[in-house]
Amino acid sequence: MALLLPLWACTATAAAGAVGMTGGALLANRGGLLFGAHCAVWAALLCLAALSFHRRAQAPPAEPGSATGGR
């Protein structure tokens, strides 16, 4: 669970960069569209990682003889 907060913080930072850079490029014609798209891709990847980590942390532990458990 300690990794979840930094993952969401990085996701929010990347999303803010994507919105700021892409919005500025489209509305004010100041450049930065490619970097905004780069930030959007990273925001999506970090969001998927955070959601996956959150689901894995909430899943019940596997029983020792089940197909997903170890030996």
Each residue's pLDDT tens digit, 27-47? 998 889 999 999 999 999 999
Is the model more confident about 40 or about 61?
A: 40
Predicted local confidence at residue 60, as pLDDT: 77
The full set of domain ranges for the chain reads: 8-58
Whole-structure pTM value: 0.74
Distance (Å, whole) CA 28 – CA 38:
19
Is it the case that residue 63 has pLDDT exceeding 80? Answer: no
Digit-coded pLDDT (tens) for 9-26: 999 999 999 999 999 999
Burial degree of 55 (CB within 10 A; 0-12, 13-18, 19+): exposed
